[in-house]
Amino acid sequence: MSKCNDKFNSIFADKLYSFVKFKQGMGWSYSDASRALVCFDKYVIESKYTTPIITKELINSWIENYPNANQTTICAIPVKIDTKKLQKTK
C-alpha cells in the first residue's frame, strides 16, 4: 500500500486515493487539497458514517464541524454539489 493510501481509512479510502492519484497524474501536486481530503476522511470515521455515498448531508455536517472549512477546502471534495447551499450560516 502506498503512503498516500495509508492516510485514508474511511469507507471512501479507495475512492479518495484514486482521486488524488488521478489529479497527480494530470500534473497537479494536489498536496493542499489532499490534506483537506484526509480531514474529511477522518471526520467520516469519527462520525461512524458507513453509507458508501457522499451525500449533501454528510458534507454539510463536515463543514459545520470543520472550523477551517472554506470554499477552496469544500471544493477539494470530489463530488458535484451546489456550493452556495454548503456555506455556513450564522
Q: What is the pTM of this model?
A: 0.68
| pLDDT, tens only, 77-90 | 555 444 444 444 44
Structural domain spans, the chain: 3-81
- b/e per residue, 59-72, with b = 16+ CB within 10 A? beebbeebeebeee
Mean pLDDT of 12-40: 85
Q: So what's the pLDDT on residue 45? A: 93
> Which cell is 33 given?
487539497
Q: So what's the pLDDT on residue 82? A: 45
**Whether residue 55 has pLDDT greater than 80:** yes
For the ranges 12-16, 57-61, 63-67, the lowest mean pLDDT is seen at 63-67
